[in-house]
Amino acid sequence: MKVIKQCMLGATLALSVTATQASEFINVLTGGTSGVYYPLGVAISQLYGEHIPNAKVQVQATRASVENLTLLDRGRGEIGFALADSVGDAWNGVEEAGFKAPLKKLRAVGSTYSNYIQIVARADSGITSLEDLKGKRISVGAPRSGTELNARAIFKAAGMGYDDFSRTEYLPFGESVELMKNRQLDATLQSAGLGMAAFRDLASHAPVVFIPIPGEVVARIGNDAYRTGVIPAGTYTGQDADVPTVTISNLLVTHENVSDSTAYEMARQVYENLPALSNAHSAANGIDPELAVEGLPLPLHPGAERYFKEKGLID
């Protein structure tokens, strides 16, 4: 009888261990809570928690692209958002962008919406062009973030550098906006989806202007990840005209140690539940599954590749 009890106990423990091992941990890496990555990441985590069996999902607020890619390469996240130019820099090991060596463990899940470079200034600052930013106080995003790397590229293409400003702050969306409200900054450059909450808040608090980035500046950047775009009139309070700017694709990225079945489901749940993501943030309206595998700067994860093959989007 004692032997039988011991066998039963051993079987119970074995089942317990098996159940524990079956749990799938998915850490979703996003960005600052006042940006677009975070609410979309929360929506994605909810989809994964509901539809991926045994998934234990959490959302992590980060400094966005560069940090997300570094964490993914170290296996400290399973999926994260990043700008296409940062992903290319990570894959190729561009040290100036914050990557001392190529991050070859990274794999793509697919493209999502486009970021728009949005340079906003207080209307009373007198800034109406890139040239007018000289001698002004500006925030360019968190240091070594995707936004800050975008700022460097754009100002360089415009023949400018941080030394041209009277003061340069390296702050995320929310903190930049608070300083602008308090008249401690004249302008900020941020890379995000349209209708960003922090800028909606700023535009409703004080008159602002959005600074155009001409097409010739975009062309001088010399990186295919950067494309001309437009911030449509009416996107923000008081913004009555279209504003030419730069767009950059956002990617969902994972790493090679994520199982094929999990990567398959991570892709499927995103691209087959776009209304849920749009409810979380309007930027998701720009996600087109037909474009999800175009121009990726790194290989697709085999699991995501299988999903897109099933949908007939790749051969």
Query: Could you report the per-residue pLDDT of 56-66, keeping only the tens digit for each?
Result: 999 999 989 99
Across the chain, mean pLDDT equals 92
> Of 248, 283, 302, which residue constitutes the final position of a domain?
248
Whether residue 269 is found in the same domain as residue 240:
no
Whether residue 58 is found in the same domain as residue 125:
no
Whether residue 135 is found in the same domain as residue 188:
yes
Whether residue 120 is found in the same domain as residue 238:
yes
| Residue pair 139/111 in contact by the 8 Å Cβ criterion | no
Q: What is the span of the domain harbouring residue 253? A: 25-113+249-310
Question: How many domains is the chain partitioned into structurally?
Answer: 2
Per-residue model confidence (pLDDT) at position 8: 43
Per-residue model confidence (pLDDT) at position 1: 47
Whether residue 56 is found in the same domain as residue 125:
no
Per-residue model confidence (pLDDT) at position 199: 93
* Residue 146 belongs to a domain: yes
| Strand bridging mode 243-255 / 227-231 | antiparallel
At 12-33, the pLDDT tens digits run: 434 333 333 457 899 999 998 8
Give the list of residues 6+ apart from residue 30 with CB closer than 8 angstroms, or none: 37, 38, 40, 41, 42, 59, 60, 61, 62, 64, 68, 80, 81
Q: Which residue in this structure is represented by tokens 């968190």?
A: 142
Here the tokens at position 151 are: 């700022």
> Of 202, 229, 248, which residue constitutes the final position of a domain?
248
> Of 195, 225, 248, which residue constitutes the final position of a domain?
248
Whether residue 126 is found in the same domain as residue 95:
no
Instruction: Say how far residue 199 (Cα) sits from the centre of its chain.
Output: 17
Q: Please give the Cα distance from 70 to 299 (Å, whole number).
A: 17
* Residue 315 belongs to a domain: no
Whether residue 223 is found in the same domain as residue 128:
yes
In this prediction, what percent of the chain has a pLDDT beyond 90? 83
Residue 254, beta-bridge partner list: 107
Mean pLDDT on 207-226: 95
Give which of 161, 165, 166, 237 is closest to 196, Cα–Cα.
237
Whether residue 48 is found in the same domain as residue 153:
no
CATH code for the domain in which residue 239 is found: 3.40.190.10
Per-residue model confidence (pLDDT) at position 34: 81
* Residue 17 belongs to a domain: no
Whether residue 121 is found in the same domain as residue 48:
no
